[in-house]
Amino acid sequence: MKMRTIISALFVLSALFTGAQNYTLNQCKDLAIKNNIKVKNKGLDVEASKEIKRAAFTKYFAEVKATALGYHFSDPLLKMDMKGGNLPVYDGNMANLASATNFAYFPDMSLSLLEKGNLGFVTATQPLYAGGRIKSGNKLASIGVEVSELQLKLIEKEILLETEKQYWQVISLYEKKKTLEHYRCLLDTLHRNVLIGVKAGMVTRNDLLKVELKQNELQMDYSKLNNGIELAKMAFCQYIGIDYTNGIKFEDKTAIDETPEQYYIDHLDALVNREEYTMLQKSTQAEKYKTKLQRGDYLPQAAIGVGAAYLDIMDDSGDGYGMVFGTINIPISKWWESKHKMKERRIREEQNKNMVNDTNEQLLLQMQQGLNTLNEAYTQIQLAQKSIRQSEENLMINQNHYKAGMVDVSDMLEAQAQLQESYDKYTEALTQYRIAKVNYLQVTGR
């Protein structure tokens, strides 16, 4: 027991010092979602659409404007020249004004007005009715947020599907490596037996050369496969956003103990769970609100407000004024185009309806294709399993016949190669089945 504990501890320490680390499929999925640029950018799109929604909500509040103006003309806008002269002195009695005997001299005078001044205005306008455009605009902004969130989910699902594809492709290469190692063991055993036969004079050297040529070929395939594994691991590390190291591993079981039937689902029921379906419904709602926005352009608009003004245009002492006001805006000239614009909006809604129906049919077709692919992949697994059993039986028969001298080395090599090919096809079938299963779950909204 102590020896086993010591060995386990040494194994862990060795993995730490060599930088080896095993990643499970779920860990790879989490890393892919966390580090993918498309996911990050779409997350920013969601935040941007939320800001648009917040901006649209501010349209419910009063609009406050402030305006300031200062001016100084090169010449006064208004000039007046007043001629002087004797003016009668008024003693308070109108009857004596015409026959006044006392006069005061008034000199000539020039007046200059509106040469410089300052003006300031502040108004707060609260819309009472805007043809429903404020409400429709807010609804559209809310739909924009929901669509952005659905698009984010779609991208995440695409990333997860691609992660599974690349992950199982790496695992399949590991399995093919195991198959090659098993095949190499068979060849080594055959080589030893043939070598004994050559020394005993029972087998020709030509048979020994055939086995050695096959060993050389296998060694080349083994080297190519190792390079392929490392390249696949590098590409996968880049995809999920982690650094590649020589000791990194992706390991999982490849065998399955399930059937496709347990994943079957009614496609019409599954349709409503698709993000694409929900986005289509949102697009229909958006078109209706766009129509309401267009209609609002041709409806009257009413608002009330308060304001304050500061005027300093005659002298250096300005005066302030307050006011309340109401406005009604009737877009009479726009009524001429309203018939055509509203007809255009009805056409757009009809186009959207056609697009929704067509896309829904495509989604159902996609589900059926996913189901067919899943069933085909499972059938390939069963055929590959049958092929393995037949290849194993064929190899065993050839081994017995070879020992009895009934077949030559070429038959043995062919039987071993058939077994290796059967195992490779089984590995590929398992990989395709796992990918098909994830794809079917995705296209059925799960």
The top-scoring range by mean pLDDT among 7-21, 29-43, 242-256 is 29-43
Query: What is the Cα–Cα distance from 262 to 255, expressed in whole angstroms?
Result: 17
Backbone angles phi, psi at 200, to 5 degrees: -85, -5
Rg (CA), the chain: 44
- CA of 92: how far to CAs of 95, 97, 228, in Å? 9, 8, 119
Cα angle 95-99-105, degrees, rounded to a multiple of 5? 115
- Give the pLDDT confidence of 234-245 residue by residue, as tens digits: 999 999 999 998
Query: What is the Cα–Cα distance from 44 to 291, expressed in whole angstroms?
Result: 29
Say whether 265 sits in a helix, a strand or coil: coil
- For residue 317, name the pLDDT band (cuts at 50, 70, 90): low
* CA count, 13 A, side-chain hemisphere, 264: 6
Backbone angles phi, psi at 371, to 5 degrees: -65, -45
Whether 118 contacts 70, CB under 8 Å: yes
Class in CATH terms, 19-60+130-298+334-443: mainly alpha
* pLDDT value of residue 353: 94
- For residue 11, name the pLDDT band (cuts at 50, 70, 90): very low
Per DSSP, 90 falls in state P
Q: What is the pTM of this model?
A: 0.78
Whether 83 contacts 105, CB under 8 Å: no
- Give the pLDDT confidence of 205-260 residue by residue, as tens digits: 898 999 999 999 999 999 999 999 999 999 999 999 999 988 888 877 667 888 99
Whether 370 contacts 438, CB under 8 Å: no
Query: What is the Cα–Cα distance from 152 to 51, expressed in whole angstroms?
Result: 17
* Tokens, residue 256: 């399955």
